C-alpha cells in the first residue's frame, strides 16, 4: 500500500448512531496515537437522529463509500510511458529499455490512444531479411531524425531535412569504384542513399559528386575543408557520428518511423471495471496488456496480467459489526486490518492475523472510549459527546438489557470530558425526529437493517426507536407493504420490523413470513395477525435474535 492510501474505518450497512460515532471516534483515536491515514467512513444514508448528533458536536458526516470492491484503477500502472505517432523506433526502444515495458502505447493528439507497439514487433522489424537484402538497408525517416538518433554533429543539412522519405543505408567499406559499381547493380539512386563511412576521402568525394542524400562520417573523424565545402555546394547533408561505422549503420535503421509498426487493433477497458470481472477476461486473453481508457478515448493506464495479482491497496477497519453480510459491498475482496465490535462472532476469515476487539458491552463506542482511557488520551468535548451519543443510542441510556456496568462507568468518564450530561443528550437524541415520519416506508424498513443466516435460514430484522407507537399505527399498512417488498427483493425466508418505544421500553414487531412460522411466535397478537406485542423487549441483539433463532431451531426438529 502506498503511503497515500487511506485505511477506512467503517460501520455496517444502514448505519445507526453507534456505527457512525464509533467510526469517527476510532479514526480520531488512531490519529491521536500517531497512526496516520485513517479515515472515518459509512456505507449507508444518515437519518434525523444521526444528523442531530453530528450537528450538536460540530462534526461532518463520514465519507460515503457505496462499494469498496477493487477496481482496475486500484492496480493499473498509472504512470504510463508512451510515444507519439511520429516517434522513431529508436525512441520507442529507448523507452522500452529504460522502463522495462513489453508494450508501449502510441498516442495522438490530446493523449488519445491510436495503437500499441510491442518489443516483439520491434524485434521483428530489425530481423535480417535474407531473401531481400535491399530491404535490410531501407529506412523510412527524415534526416533530422537520423541526426538525432545517432547523436550526430550536423555540419550541413540539405533541403527538407524534416521530410519523411525512403532512404537506403550504404557502408563505404571498399574502393570507390567497386563501391559504386555495387550500388548501381542494386538499383539504389544516389538521391536516396545515406553513405556511412570512416575517414575515406575518396568515398567522401565520390558520394558528394553523385549527390547522395547524406554522408555520415563515423568515429568523429575530421572532415577535410574541401569535402565540407563540396557538400554545401551540392546540397548534400554532412553529419559526424560519434560511433563506429557498424554501430552508426544499425542506429540509422532504428531512426525509422514507428507508424508502420503500430498495432491499431488494441484491447481497452474502463478504469471502473471490477477486478473480479476482469480477472476471468484477462486470463483467457492473449493480449500482452489491456489499455485503460477514459470515456473520451484518452489513456489512463495499463493493466497487465501480473497487475491483477497485486495486493489491493484498500484497507478497512470494521466497527460495530464483524459479519461480511453486514459490511460494505466488496469488503470480502479487500484487506480487513482490524475489527472493533460488541456483537456475536460471525463467519469471517482473514488471510493474516488482525487486531480483533470484541467485548460483551452495550455499544462499540464503549470499547473505543475505553481505548482512549487506557492509553491516557483525552478526547475533546465534541469527541466525548460523539462517543456518549453512540453509547446512549445503543443502550437506551443504560436501560437496555445489553447494558453492562462498564457502559455505565464509561458514560460517567465521558461526561467528565464532554459539555453535556447523559440525560440531556438522551433527550436530544430521542426527540430528534421520528424515523417513521421522516422517511418513506421503504426506507423505514431498511433503517438499522441487518440480514442474518441462522439454521440455514436467511432473514432480516430492522429496528426503529420512537416516542410512543402512534406514528407506527398511523403508517402500519404502508410499512407492512414495504416489509413485504423487502422480503421479496432480498430473497428472505421472513423479515421483521421492531418498533421500540423509548419511554415504556416496550416494542411492537411487524413480521412478514409464511403462516407456519407466524403461528409459532408465542408473543401476543395486536389487532393484526402479523403484529406482535413484545413487552420489555428493546434489544434486537440480546433479546429478539436469540428468540427467533430458537423458533428456527424448533422448525428443524
Average pLDDT over residues 405-420: 97
For strand 214-217 and strand 237-240, is the pairing parallel, antiparallel, or unpaired?
parallel
235 Cα distance to chain centroid: 58
Residue 533, beta-bridge partner list:
508, 524
Please state, in angstroms and rounded to a whole number, the distance separating the CA atoms of residues 73 and 303.
Answer: 9
435-556 homologous superfamily: DHHA2 domain (3.10.310.20)
The mean pLDDT value of the chain amounts to 89
Sheet holding 113-118, edge to edge: 83-84, 103-107, 113-118
Please give the backbone phi and psi of residue 441, each rounded to the nearest 5 degrees, phi first.
-55, -40
What is the pLDDT at residue 315? 94
For strand 113-118 and strand 103-107, is the pairing parallel, antiparallel, or unpaired?
antiparallel
Residue 120 in this model has a pLDDT that exceeds 90: no
> Residues spanned by CATH 3.10.580.10 within the chain?
74-123+260-309
Cα Rg, the chain, nearest whole Å:
38
How does pLDDT run across 223-244, given as a tens digit for each residue?
999 999 999 999 999 999 999 9
Share of the chain residues as helix, strand and coil, in percent rounded to the nearest 5: 40, 25, 35
Residue 285 in this model has a pLDDT that exceeds 80: no
Please state, in angstroms and rounded to a whole number, the distance separating the CA atoms of residues 394 and 436.
Answer: 19
What is the pLDDT at residue 421? 96
Say which CATH topology domain 7-70+313-430 has: inorganic pyrophosphatase (n-terminal core) (3.90.1640)
How does pLDDT run across 357-378, given as a tens digit for each residue?
999 999 999 999 999 999 999 9
Q: What's the pTM value of the predicted model, to 2 decimals?
A: 0.67
Strands of 234-367, DSSP E: 237-240, 268-269, 290-293, 299-303, 315-319, 335-341, 355-358
Residue 99 in this model has a pLDDT that exceeds 80: no
How does pLDDT run across 434-449, given as a tens digit for each residue?
889 888 999 999 988 8
Q: Higher confidence at residue 379 or residue 89? A: 379
Helix (H, G, I), strand (E, B) or coil at 43: coil
Please state, in angstroms and rounded to a whole number, the distance separating the CA atoms of residues 396 and 419.
Answer: 20
> Residues spanned by CATH 3.40.1390.20 within the chain?
151-254
Per CATH, domain 74-123+260-309 is 3.10.580.10:
yes
Among 170, 240, 241, smallest CA distance to 206 is for: 170
Q: Which CATH class is domain 151-254?
A: alpha beta
Residue 38, beta-bridge partner list:
7
What is the pLDDT at residue 132? 62
How does pLDDT run across 308-355, given as a tens digit for each residue?
878 888 999 999 999 988 999 999 999 999 999 999 888 888 888 999
Average pLDDT over residues 498-525: 92
Is residue 500 within 8 A of residue 544, CB to CB? The reply is: no
Average pLDDT over residues 57-86: 90
Average pLDDT over residues 173-177: 68
What is the pLDDT at residue 556? 72
CB under 8 Å to 533, separation ≥6 — which residues? Answer: 506, 508, 523, 524, 525, 526
Amino acid at each position: 500500500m502506498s503511503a497515500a492510501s487511506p485505511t477506512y474505518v467503517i460501520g455496517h450497512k444502514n448505519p445507526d448512531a453507534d456505527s457512525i460515532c464509533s467510526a469517527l471516534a476510532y479514526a480520531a483515536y488512531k490519529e491521536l496515537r500517531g497512526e496516520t491515514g485513517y479515515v472515518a467512513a459509512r456505507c449507508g444514508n444518515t437519518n434525523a437522529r444521526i444528523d442531530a448528533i453530528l450537528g450538536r458536536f460540530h462534526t461532518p458526516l463520514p465519507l460515503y463509500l457505496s462499494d469498496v470492491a477493487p477496481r482496475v484503477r486500484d492496480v493499473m500502472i498509472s504512470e504510463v510511458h508512451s510515444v507519439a505517432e511520429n516517434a522513431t523506433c529508436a525512441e520507442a526502444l529507448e523507452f522500452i529499455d529504460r522502463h522495462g515495458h513489453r508494450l508501449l502505447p502510441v498516442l495522438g493528439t490530446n493523449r488519445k490512444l491510436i495503437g500499441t507497439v510491442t518489443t516483439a514487433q520491434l524485434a521483428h522489424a530489425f530481423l535480417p531479411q535474407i531473401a531481400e537484402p535491399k530491404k535490410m538497408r531501407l529506412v523510412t525517416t527524415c534526416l533530422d531524425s537520423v541526426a538525432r538518433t545517432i547523436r550526430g554533429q550536423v555540419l550541413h543539412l540539405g533541403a527538407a531535412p524534416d521530410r519523411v522519405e525512403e532512404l537506403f543505408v550504404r557502408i563505404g567499406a571498399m574502393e570507390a569504384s567497386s563501391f559504386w559499381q555495387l550500388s548501381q547493380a542494386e538499383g539504389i539512386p544516389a538521391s536516396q542513399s545515406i553513405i556511412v563511412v570512416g575517414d575515406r576521402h575518396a568515398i567522401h568525394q565520390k558520394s558528394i559528386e553523385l549527390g547522395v542524400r547524406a554522408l555520415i562520417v563515423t568515429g568523429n573523424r575530421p572532415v577535410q575543408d574541401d569535402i565540407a565545402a563540396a557538400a554545401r555546394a551540392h546540397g548534400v547533408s554532412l553529419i559526424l557520428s560519434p560511433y563506429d561505422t557498424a554501430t552508426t549503420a544499425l542506429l540509422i535503421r532504428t531512426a525509422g518511423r514507428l507508424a508502420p509498426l503500430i498495432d491499431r487493433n488494441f484491447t481497452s477497458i474502463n478504469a471502473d471495471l471490477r477486478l473480479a470481472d476482469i480477472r476471468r477476461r484477462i486470463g483467457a486473453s492473449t493480449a500482452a496488456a489491456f489499455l485503460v481508457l477514459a470515456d473520451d478515448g484518452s489513456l489512463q493506464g495499463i493493466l497487465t496480467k501480473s497487475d491483477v495479482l497485486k495486493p489491493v491497496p484498500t484497507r478497512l477497519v470494521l466497527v460495530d459489526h464483524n459479519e461480511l453480510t453486514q459490511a460494505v459491498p466488496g469488503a470480502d475482496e479487500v484487506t480487513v486490518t482490524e475489527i472493533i465490535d460488541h456483537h456475536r462472532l460471525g463467519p469471517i476469515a482473514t488471510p493474516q492475523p488482525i487486531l480483533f476487539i470484541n467485548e460483551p458491552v452495550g455499544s462499540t463506542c464503549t470499547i473505543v472510549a475505553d481505548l482512549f482511557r487506557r492509553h491516557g488520551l483525552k478526547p475533546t468535548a465534541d469527541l466525548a459527546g460523539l462517543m456518549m451519543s453512540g453509547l446512549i443510542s445503543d443502550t437506551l441510556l443504560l436501560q437496555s438489557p445489553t447494558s453492562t456496568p462498564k457502559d455505565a462507568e464509561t458514560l460517567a468518564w465521558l461526561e467528565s470530558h464532554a459539555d453535556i450530561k447523559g440525560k440531556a443528550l438522551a433527550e436530544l437524541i430521542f426527540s430528534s425526529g421520528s424515523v417513521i415520519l421522516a422517511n418513506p416506508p421503504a426506507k423505514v424498513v431498511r433503517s438499522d437493517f441487518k440480514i442474518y443466516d441462522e439454521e440455514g435460514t436467511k432473514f432480516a430484522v430492522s429496528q426503529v426507536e420512537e416516542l410512543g407507537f402512534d406514528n407506527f399505527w398511523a403508517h402500519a399498512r404502508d410499512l407492512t407493504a414495504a416489509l413485504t417488498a423487502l422480503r421479496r427483493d432480498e430473497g428472505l425466508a421472513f423479515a421483521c420490523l421492531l418498533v421500540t418505544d423509548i419511554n415504556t421500553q416496550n416494542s411492537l414487531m411487524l413480521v412478514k413470513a409464511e403462516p407456519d412460522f407466524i403461528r409459532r411466535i408465542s408473543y401476543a397478537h395486536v389487532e393484526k395477525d402479523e403484529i406482535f406485542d413484545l413487552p420489555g423487549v428493546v434489544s434486537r441483539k440480546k433479546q429478539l435474535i436469540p428468540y427467533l433463532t430458537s423458533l428456527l431451531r424448533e422448525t428443524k426438529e
